[in-house]
Amino acid sequence: MTVTTTAALWRHATFRRLWLSDAVSTLGTHVTTVALPLAALTALGAGSTGVAALTAATTLPYLLLGIPAGAIVDRLPRRAVLVGADLTRALLLASVPLAWAAGLVTLAHLMAVALVAGCATVLFDVAYFAAVPAVAPPGRLADANARLEATRAVGQTAGPGLAGLLVGALGAPVALLVDVASFVASALFLAGTPRLARTGPPALAACGGTPPAGCDSCSGTRWSGR
């Protein structure tokens, strides 16, 4: 991607906000992936079984919501989904250092945070990529997607390393407050965007008119099984 193309994308205010929100949100997500299991190890003395269960809770939402997430997002305002997912993750992660400070943190608490925050991440990702065509400058969709994927790759690489530094400096529970700040920042970037265009869900003859989310999900499941 040329410097001119990047500058053209950066000058587009709505795309710039979406881009920045995803950059900080992706970084926070990958810091959480490392910091949450370390919180279980350091704050609770969890063994390998506990850490494995926590890791499973982190990845399970991708299996559970991978197909229905698209149908859910298609029926809701995109900006509301994005901001709601960010604030949900911020509140959940903020509960960990607060519970730790009060001596109330448990493995069940961490697993619940991982599971629900993971669901919010799946919905955020689906809504985010669905919103890109509505905010990319005309004729720049491929360039916009390339820039976003490059930014995500940087976040995926830098996030774990940053998590290690934060955990070493602050301790795992407190390090999660950096994740909280990243999700709040992402929500603020998104809150300032104009209403994101949303195309209504396609009508399926079998469902009559606008299909319910369950019908779309079944259709996606059948297609995936081909």
Q: How many CA atoms lie within 13 A of 6 on its CB side?
A: 8
At residue 157, the pLDDT reads 85
Q: Within 10 A of 94 (CB to CB), how many other CB atoms are there?
A: 18
Q: Where are the domains of the chain?
A: 3-196
pTM (predicted TM-score): 0.78
At residue 221, the pLDDT reads 46
Q: What is the mean pLDDT of each run of 10 residues along the chain (226 residues)?
A: 58 79 86 86 83 87 87 88 94 94 91 93 90 77 82 84 85 88 92 64 47 50 46
Tell me which CATH code domain 3-196 carries. Answer: 1.20.1250.20
Report yes or no: 147 and 9 within 8 Å, Cβ to Cβ.
Answer: yes
At residue 154, the pLDDT reads 86
At residue 204, the pLDDT reads 45
Q: How far apart are CA 110 and CA 188, in angstroms?
A: 26
> Using a CB cutoff of 8 Å and minimum separation of 24, what contacts does 214-220 make?
214/68, 214/71, 216/68, 216/70, 216/71, 216/74, 217/67, 217/68, 217/71, 220/67, 220/68, 220/70, 220/71
At residue 62, the pLDDT reads 87
- For the chain, report the end-to-end CA distance as a whole number of angstroms: 36
Q: How far apart are CA 144 and CA 157, in angstroms?
A: 20
Cα four-point dihedral sign 48, 53, 56, 57: negative
At residue 8, the pLDDT reads 63
Report yes or no: 28 and 179 within 8 Å, Cβ to Cβ.
Answer: yes
At residue 212, the pLDDT reads 55
At residue 185, the pLDDT reads 93
At residue 28, the pLDDT reads 84
Cβ contacts of 124 within 8 Å, gap of 6 or more: 25, 81, 82, 85, 86, 89
